[in-house]
């Protein structure tokens, strides 16, 4: 009897083992084991088993709440009001000749950068505004004034006056930001105030206008950015400002995964220039060039596929004085790798004239490091399109012929109407009653005007007489 009982027990145990083994092999769901090296109580513990999930250790250990709390109160809603004379319909056109005025409104975001009310935003957010209104996260609204703009970089500095100290976001180092790093985009998309989205840095030194020496070197992110986010903050998980959200690439006008921000180092330099000098102090190396291509590799026997190829060197430039030559390849600046033209423009745009940078070049398979003193960028000509003329800086001693100590020279007429008056060589001494001494000053005055605003030009004729003309 006992032997029979033991036999039945052995059979039952073996059957149980086979059943469990079969379940383990074929039926039990596969577990994902998350190895977390941190011991915080609010994260998944080491070896915690999560069946059928896609959690990863990096996603689980990142906490965005601190960065959001630090930044959401320092990102504001910027509303701009202007006047449009565009007809809304055919009735407007026939009744008013296309000149019916109507008040229009645009909106974007801005970032408070000082406790006394300085705010950085995009130039396109405030461009053409007759009035600016800034609303804080606590719903308090203030009138804002424009301190200065940098249209080429799409950066503007505005200010509000508050009777209390304001929350602000400190600048981080955008050069230290890494691809794959977590970031938050904070702004007001579609007028949804105080919206926070998360993503990573997808790319750096992204150039949307390749080979243009005024091009930006954007940070690319997959954090969701939509209309209304322009001028808002891109911050790291420490709550530091590493970019000003500026643009998206989309066929629909809404976010599809590609968004771009002006690096904080470039924005900070522009802001500092505006506050200290009144305009942007742009330094240049003094070369033309671009990314390395197969034809340059073959023609100059280049031994690298990354860097900036030097096509020419400007006379009297810092590059010329430092000994940089045509055919050289720029590999590094101040220890920062230069893989493409956007790396170079992005870094140099964060510097000022007379700053000295150390440039590593590759010349005939030999690496050299040379110090280059940046020179000031000066625009040589400017088209006043509303007037129909191009102006240039006066040649040396040219103004003495007109007994003038300031002014710019009309180099050519642009419109058929202006070509009838033989204006080439005449002096424009003032615009809207303001003396002008350079093409840059002309550019600043013209670009600060509202759309459809009249322009008054003071012209010195060939007899030295001053004449005024109003252009609508």
Count of beta carbons in the 10 Å neighbourhood of residue 398 = 14
Marked catalytic residue, from 230, 411, 438, 458: 230
Catalytic residue among 77, 109, 127, 154: 154
- Give catalytic status of residue 124 as yes or no: yes
Of the candidates 61, 124, 194, 386, the residue annotated as catalytic is 124
Residue 76: partners with Cβ closer than 8 Å, 6 or more residues away: 109, 110, 111, 112, 119, 134, 135, 136, 137
Which residue's structure tokens are 């643009």? 247
Is 154 designated active site?
yes
User: Residue 254 in contact with residue 226, Cβ under 8 Å?
Assistant: yes
Q: Say whether 230 is catalytic.
A: yes
Looking up tokens 């070369």, which residue turns up?
287
CA distance 239 to 171: 9
How many whole angstroms separate alpha carbon 149 and alpha carbon 75? Answer: 19
Which residues are the active-site residues?
124, 154, 230
């Amino acid at each position: 009897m006992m032997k029979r009982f033991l036999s039945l027990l052995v059979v039952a145990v073996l059957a149980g083992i086979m059943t469990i083994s079969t379940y383990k092999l074929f039926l039990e769901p596969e577990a994902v084991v998350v190895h977390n090296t941190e011991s915080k109580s609010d994260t998944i513990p080491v070896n915690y088993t999560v069946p059928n999930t896609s959690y990863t250790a990096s996603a689980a250990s990142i906490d965005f709440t601190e960065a959001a709390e630090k930044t959401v109160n320092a990102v504001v809603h910027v509303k701009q009001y202007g006047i449009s004379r565009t007809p809304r319909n055919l009735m407007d056109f026939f009744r008013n000749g296309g000149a019916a005025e109507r008040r229009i409104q645009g909106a974007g975001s801005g970032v408070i950068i000082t406790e006394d009310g300085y705010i950085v935003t995009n130039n396109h957010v405030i461009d053409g505004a007759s009035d600016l209104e800034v609303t804080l996260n606590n719903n308090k609204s203030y009138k804002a004034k424009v301190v200065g703009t940098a249209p080429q970089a799409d950066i503007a500095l505005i200010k509000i006056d508050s009777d209390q100290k304001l929350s602000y976001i400190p600048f981080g180092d955008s050069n230290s930001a890494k691809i794959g790093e977590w970031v938050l985009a904070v702004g007001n998309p579609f007028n949804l105030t105080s919206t926070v989205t998360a993503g990573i840095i997808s790319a750096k030194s992204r150039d949307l206008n390749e080979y243009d020496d005024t091009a930006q070197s954007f940070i690319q992110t997959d954090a969701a950015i939509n209309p209304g986010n322009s001028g808002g903050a891109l911050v790291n998980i420490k709550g530091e400002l590493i970019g000003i959200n500026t643009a998206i690439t989309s066929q629909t006008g809404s976010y599809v995964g590609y968004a771009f921000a002006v690096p904080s180092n470039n924005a900070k330099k522009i802001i500092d220039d505006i506050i200290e000098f009144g305009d942007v102090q742009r330094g240049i190396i003094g070369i033309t060039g671009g990314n390395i291509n197969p034809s340059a590799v073959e023609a100059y026997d280049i031994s690298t596929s990354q860097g900036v190829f030097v096509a020419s060197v400007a006379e009297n430039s810092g590059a010329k004085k430092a000994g940089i030559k045509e055919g050289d390849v720029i590999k590094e600046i101040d220890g920062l790798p230069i893989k493409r033209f956007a790396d170079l423009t992005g870094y140099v745009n964060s510097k000022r004239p007379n700053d000295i940078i150390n440039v590593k070049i590759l010349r005939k398979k030999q690496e050299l490091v040379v110090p280059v003193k940046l020179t000031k960028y000066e625009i040589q000509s400017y088209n006043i399109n509303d007037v129909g003329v191009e102006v240039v800086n006066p040649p040396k001693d040219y103004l003495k012929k007109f007994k003038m100590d300031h002014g710019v020279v009309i180099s050519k007429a642009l419109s058929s109407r202006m070509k009838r008056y033989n204006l080439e060589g005449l002096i424009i001494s003032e615009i809207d009653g303001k003396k002008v001494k350079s093409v840059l000053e002309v550019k600043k005055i013209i670009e600060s005007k509202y759309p459809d605003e009249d322009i008054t030009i003071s012209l010195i004729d060939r007899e030295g007489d001053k004449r005024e003309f109003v252009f609508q």
